């Protein structure tokens, strides 16, 4: 009971810290100072932002479908949290429950987030919100295909859908060293899946005035914001588990083994999150046609080619 309440609280606090660090890093990249007013060195800025969103009035458009309009951000936020329940922090230490069909569960739950996005765009009764929701749904579906095929390659190699088993299979060598092209495909697909730069077309401020959440304000907008960053952190966990050995250190040395296994997983997740921010501060936005071409004409053929190559090598070396 308590762990079910503790997980969302920890995720929300992590998102608060991540937003502050991201703003500081982006300011450093662009030779600015970033948040400096609220608290020492701006450390209380996330709390001020959260209070601002909570105490503001929830403005509902006159022609909106109120039930679906309110329900959409709730659906997206809940879906973004469910997958954390099966993330293993170390061997035998799963946040809520360990599933042998772990990745099937993750894909099944993640696909539900598209419904919340479509609900938000349609219920807002705004052409900008509706166009943003269609963009986001098409983008998520397009890159989920390549992500699914990439994960299938690792599942075929390990022989299990279980996240703990996938980590333990990397005791001798992390997957990133033998599957580094697959890692690059997965990371770029994760950027598109989470609507991050350079694939933030559903939230293109210059074109769609923030996209599918343009008609939202106050706490409902905060739920969209929290869901987006929760998905980014979840993707970072999956990258660490699939390619970076999860909680396993790179070298099996005593000085590394005396540290808690959870420390190594959190460290890897932090490094991946830093790369997310670095990409945001470095690259310009793609056009939407370029985004879809990359997904269907480059990533899908490459991922299919890799899985066919793996199957051929498997039968040759068997």
SS (H, E, C) 32-71: CCCCCCCCHHHCCHHHHHHHHHHHCCCCCCCCCCHHHHHH
**Is the confidence at residue 25, as pLDDT, over 90?**
yes
Question: Do residue 25 and residue 139 come from a single domain?
Answer: no
The predicted structure's pLDDT at residue 68: 93
d(CA 315, CA 260): 39
Which of 37, 55, 73 is where one domain is finished?
Answer: 55
The answer to whether 106 touches 83, Cβ cutoff 8 Å, is yes
Question: Do residue 95 and residue 125 come from a single domain?
Answer: yes
Question: Do residue 89 and residue 34 come from a single domain?
Answer: no
pTM, two decimals, is 0.93
Question: Do residue 23 and residue 117 come from a single domain?
Answer: no
Question: Do residue 137 and residue 284 come from a single domain?
Answer: yes
- Mean pLDDT for the stretch of residues 79-88: 90
- Mean pLDDT for the stretch of residues 38-55: 90
The predicted structure's pLDDT at residue 205: 64
The predicted structure's pLDDT at residue 70: 92
Percent of the chain topping pLDDT 90: 42
The pLDDT tens digits of the residues spanning 248-274 come to: 887 765 556 666 788 889 999 999 999
The pLDDT tens digits of the residues spanning 200-252 come to: 877 766 665 677 888 898 899 999 999 999 999 999 999 999 999 888 887 76
Question: Do residue 130 and residue 265 come from a single domain?
Answer: yes
- Mean pLDDT for the stretch of residues 6-33: 90
Binning pLDDT at 50, 70 and 90, where does residue 94 land? confident
d(CA 294, CA 98): 35
Question: Do residue 192 and residue 233 come from a single domain?
Answer: yes
The pLDDT tens digits of the residues spanning 139-186 come to: 888 999 999 999 999 998 888 899 999 999 998 889 999 889 999 999
Binning pLDDT at 50, 70 and 90, where does residue 62 land? confident
The predicted structure's pLDDT at residue 4: 62
**Is the confidence at residue 191, as pLDDT, over 90?**
yes
Kindly write down the DSSP assignment for every residue of 290-308, as one continuous string. Answer: HHHHIIIIIIHHHHHHHHH
Angle at 202 between CA 199 and CA 203, to 5 degrees: 95
Which among 314, 109, 116 has a CA at the least distance from the CA of 202?
116
Structural domain including 39 reads 1-55
């Amino acid at each position: 009971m308590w762990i079910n309440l503790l997980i969302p609280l920890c995720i929300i606090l992590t998102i608060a810290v991540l937003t502050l660090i991201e703003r500081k890093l982006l300011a450093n990249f662009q030779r600015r100072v970033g948040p400096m007013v609220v608290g020492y060195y701006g450390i209380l800025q996330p709390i001020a932002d959260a209070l601002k969103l909570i105490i503001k009035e929830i403005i509902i458009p006159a022609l909106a479908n109120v039930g679906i309009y309110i329900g959409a951000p709730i659906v997206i936020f809940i879906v973004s949290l469910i997958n954390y329940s099966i993330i293993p922090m170390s061997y035998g230490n799963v946040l809520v429950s360990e599933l042998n069909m772990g990745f099937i569960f993750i894909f099944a739950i993640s696909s539900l987030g598209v419904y919340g996005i479509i609900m938000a765009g349609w219920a807002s009764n705004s052409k900008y919100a509706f166009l943003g929701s269609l963009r986001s749904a098409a983008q998520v579906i397009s890159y989920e295909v390549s992500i699914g095929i990439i994960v299938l390659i690792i599942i075929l190699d390990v022989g299990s859908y279980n996240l703990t088993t996938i980590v333990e299979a990397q005791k001798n060598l992390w997957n990133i060293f033998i599957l580094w092209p697959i890692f690059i495909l997965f990371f770029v697909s994760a950027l598109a899946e989470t609507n991050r730069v350079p694939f933030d077309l559903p939230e293109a401020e210059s074109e769609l005035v923030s996209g599918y959440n343009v008609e939202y304000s106050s706490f409902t907008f905060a739920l969209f914001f929290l869901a987006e960053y929760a998905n980014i952190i979840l993707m970072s966990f999956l990258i660490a588990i699939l390619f970076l050995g999860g909680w396993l250190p790179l070298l099996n040395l005593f000085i590394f083994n005396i540290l808690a296994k959870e420390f190594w997983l959190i460290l890897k997740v932090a490094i991946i999150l830093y790369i997310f921010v670095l990409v945001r501060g470095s690259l310009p936005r793609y056009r939407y046609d370029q985004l879809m071409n990359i997904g269907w004409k480059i990533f899908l053929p490459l991922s299919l080619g890799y899985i066919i190559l793996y199957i051929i090598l498997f039968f040759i070396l068997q």
